Structure 1
Amino acid sequence: MSLKMSRTMFAVVLIATFTVGALLSYLWVVGYYASLELKSPEKPAISIEDFIVSPEDPTFFNIRILNPSFSPNKVEVMGISILTEDRLIHEVTTTSPEIPSEGYVLEVGASETFKCSWNWAKYTGQSITVIVLVKNGSGGTLSVMLPLVEIKIISLKFDPENGRHFNVTLENSDKSAAGVDLVNIKVIVDNLSNNVETSPKLPARLEPANSISFLCEWSWVDHQNKTIKIVAETSQG
């Protein structure tokens, strides 16, 4: 009889333990979700999405700015800036649609795609951070890698028997994301810039993993023992 009572009491205690444990687990879960509900944002928080650039045209980029559905109210976009690897901040002064001085309003759940005029040709292949400033809220940032377009001078030859021209060969890297249109070659010496006539004539298309050679008409014999700089310009910047 005593053994049966002990087993019965043990079963009751075990059931009670499970019941209390389940109740505590339920209360903990309820408390967890309640704590999450208390962490809803008090100020508008935007999201930056869909960063798009064209390797063929480095004069602009597109971004989409979203005011999420969980945002407590509308947001006013005040401006867009770019942080480059050289730690410079570049303000985007022209966008489409335009951002007025009082801010561009995005209602809760709304988004807008902005075309931002900023020439990123000098930062090709580098990482940049897009910064969106908002009024009375949390702005947003997005770090992206710009496409690489790399043009190099791989050969430069001066003919000792002819001081009126030189030969230069340009190469578009096989890692480049796009071709370029060469529009001008110039020589800089003594702080003076000299555009040169070329053969073949410019403009000329240079695709990735390709090279092209030019005969450049310029009298270099008058500038012997001086440092000169050869610059190849493209329509892409």
Structure 2
Amino acid sequence: MNKKAISTLTLIILIVASAIVGGIISYMLTIAYYVEMGYNIPENTTTLAITGVYIDPEDAASFRVTILNPSFSISNATVTRIAVSPANETNLYEVVETQPPIEDGLVIHRGKAINITCSALQINEKKMSWGEFAYKFAGQSITIHVFSSNASAANKEVTLPYVKLEVIPDFRPEITFESFNITLKNDEKSETNLTITTISLAEPTVNYTIRQMIWEPELRSITPNLPYTLDAGENETFKCELNWLGVSDAKIKITTEEGYEIYHKVALMPMQTYFTIQDVIFDEDDTEHFKVIVKNEFGLAEGITVTNITYTIKNGTTMPAENINPALPAIVPPTGQNFTFTCSWNWHDYRGKEVNVTVYLKQGFVRSIKVTTPKPVILEILNLKDVFKLENKTYFSVNLRNHASSLETINITKKKVEEITIDHSKTSSLPCILKPGENITITCNLGKSWTDYQKESLNLVVEFIGNESQTNSETFVVLLPEKAKLNITSVKHVVLGTKNYLNITVENMHYSAINLTISKIIVTFENQTEPSIMQLSPGLTVAIGSETFIFFPTETAPQGDITVEVITDEGIEASWSGVPGS
């Protein structure tokens, strides 16, 4: 017998046998899926089957699904999308990143299988990595859904690996806003070690009214250094250097080398504090001190601790405030009340210049305010509330003082009221010299009645020349008096018939500028809790320079002191207290 012929025949038999066995095995694998799912083998249709889902607990960057288009399908199948649904939800998480890409459809030829790697999902408008999803639903059952444009959908239920990282945040505003601690514990039942690669505050809501500085999301440092591996059952506390002042809420985001994304919500608004510098006061009567007024609106029960106060002058030199009262460190309680620090600094010669005052706080942040010291010349009107008088409407008097702390002797040259320049040519009042600490009263003819201005105040401008022969000016807002004066000249008890009355005499003074209309009388009797009120409608007119009588009814003769108030439509009021005459 020819040995070569026998060898060739044997080889042919082996090849045929291998093909038959391979076909049987392929058929068994395909039929097993349908037997498992309880399906009948479809006829004259195209059907997809998920033959495998591969989820690695140590690689949560993606998962892999194997999809088979069985040989009994009548055509190729086109996969159009893949989705995932958790067991206890009706929502579908759409797979949006795959390899190979699905895009407009991924064709699987009849009798062929394909592996698709899925790395990102989306629900509504929110996109998430597979690592975020795998951690969120760790240890739970999920269903993989494969959809096709020309074949029935395929579904397969699997259980996600159990991975649990306990996150314990520790924010301590009473100590500092510059850092916070996070303790991470890898659950003892976790199916993998976790290597922490990043820790951050994600999706923060920042209240910039509280923060008063830009938000810097990058952590300055983390201790111990990352990456850091936590075996199952192990824990570690990380100190995160990041200023979180003004962050009302956020998510602590943790990523791992294994691909997991872990989010933990924190509500930080109850821990916040609102600390401000309300003002810095340079009192011209005390040039050796300045005051810093701060306020702690809300926050820590024990308050915010001020540790230092500095001031920076225009040339950039920064100096610490000295002899601070109260002494530092000092706690400012969260009462919403002003809290004042008095600081020593002789600023007498540093005038009309900017100074930046900074308050340093134990909790790790600062507050600064830029102010300007008083001018070299401080010109004042000592009778600011009494410049114009109702009794004399065309004249006014100004008591001017060059403050004692002024650095210069000044020469007052001109005064203006609104659009009118006061004519001093017929008097010797201007120009006049005022040394620091001196004052002078100047009476001026306005040239018209101040009542012609339909305003509540007028601008008074005083021009003067200082040491450098430059013309300077100071503008004062001077309130005008009321345009009428109403007096209650007498209150008497009278009986008309059988009834008691108060006879109230009122006078609109002769120097008033307008008539008055009395609309209400209020009388308060001794030992009476509620006043008696009489409305006049229409009102009673009192002409300029005239008197009128008002009869106010009472139940009995008044006993003891009473108070009478007369109110007019024009807002002018008069009051009287005493025992009524008879």
Q: Deviations over 1:164-200 (max 9, x none)?
A: 2212222222344542221211112323322111123
Aligned positions of 1:148-187 closer than 5 A: 148-176=272-300, 178-187=302-311
Deviation readout 1:213-234 (Å, 9 max, x if unpaired): 2221123344433332221112
Matched-pair contact (CA < 8 Å) for 2:321–2:343: yes
2:345 maps to what in 1?
218
Q: CA deviation at 1:37?
A: 4.9
Matched, 1:193 2:313: no
Identity %: 21
SS at structure 2 position matched to 1:220: coil
Q: CA deviation at 1:116?
A: 0.9
Task: Please list, as runs of the form range in 1=range in 2, the aligned pairs for 1:1-237 lying within 5 A after superposition.
Answer: 35=143, 37-41=157-161, 47=165, 49-58=167-176, 59-68=178-187, 71-83=190-202, 85=206, 88-91=216-219, 93-95=221-223, 98-99=224-225, 103-108=227-232, 110-120=233-243, 123-146=245-268, 147-176=271-300, 178-190=302-314, 191-197=316-322, 198-209=324-335, 211-237=338-364
- Paired residue type of 2:317: L
Give the deviation of 1:53 after TM superposition: 1.3
Q: Distance in 1 between matches of 2:273 and 2:250?
A: 16
Q: Select the structure that is richer in helix.
A: 1
- Contact 1:124/1:148 (CA < 8 Å) preserved in 2? yes
Deviations 1:68-118 (A, max 9, x none): 5674422111232345555643235242xx245xx322234x352413142
The whole-number CA distance in structure 2 between the counterparts of 1:218 and 1:161 is 14
Partner Cα distance (2:284, 2:253) in 1: 54
Q: Report if aligned partners of 2:142, 2:160 keep a CA contact under 8 Å in 1.
A: no
Report the TM-score when normalising by structure 1. Answer: 0.68
CA distance in 1, matches of 2:248, 2:189: 34
Separation in structure 2 between the aligned mates of residue 52 and residue 134 of structure 1, nearest angstrom: 21
Contact 1:47–1:67 (8 Å) recurs in 2: yes
Q: Using the alignment, how far apart are the partners of 1:92 and 1:215 within structure 2?
A: 35
Distance, in Å, in 2 between the alignment partners of 1:135 and 1:151 is 41
Matched residues in 2 for 1:46 and 1:221: separation?
A: 67
Distance 1:196 1:145 in 2: 37
Which residue of structure 2 lines up, in the alignment, with residue 6 of structure 1? none
- Which amino acid in 2 is paired with 1:172? N
Q: CA deviation digits over 1:33-74, x for unaligned, max 9?
A: 683851414xx8554522121121124322232435674422
Give the partner amino acid of 1:49.
Answer: V
* 2-structure distance, mates of 1:73, 1:67: 9
In the alignment, the residues of structure 1 paired with residue 166 and residue 312 of structure 2 have an alpha-carbon distance, to the nearest angstrom, of: 42
Change in CA separation of 1:168 and 1:91 when aligned onto 2, cut-off 3 Å: closer
Q: Take 2:246 and 2:327, find their aligned partners in 1: how far apart are those partners?
A: 27
Amino acid at match of 1:89: P
The corresponding residue for 1:19 is none
**Matches of 1:125 and 1:92, distance apart in 2:** 17
**How many residues in Structure 1 have an aligned counterpart in Structure 2?**
201
Say which SS state the counterpart of residue 89 (structure 1) adopts: coil
Q: Which amino acid aligns with 1:77?
A: I
**TM-score, normalisation: structure 2:** 0.31
Name whichever of 56-65 and 194-203 sits farther off.
56-65
Higher relative CO (CA 8 A, sep ≥ 6), structure 1 or 2?
1
Cα deviation code 1:98-142 (max 9, x no counterpart): 245xx322234x35241314252x624443443323112213233
- Decide whether the 8 Å contact of 2:166 with 2:186 is kept in 1: no
- Specify whether residues 148 and 139 from structure 1 end up closer, same or farther in structure 2 by C-alpha distance, changes over 3 A only: same
Q: Deviations over 1:133-161 (max 9, x none)?
A: 31122132334243212222234322113
Contact 1:153 1:170 in 2 (8 A): yes
Answer whether contact 2:218 2:242 (CA < 8 A) is retained.
Answer: no
Q: Report SS of the residue matched to 1:105.
A: strand
CA distance in 2, matches of 1:71, 1:211: 54
- Deviation larger for 58-67 or 194-203: 58-67
- Gapped regions of structure 1 (runs ≥ 5): 1-26
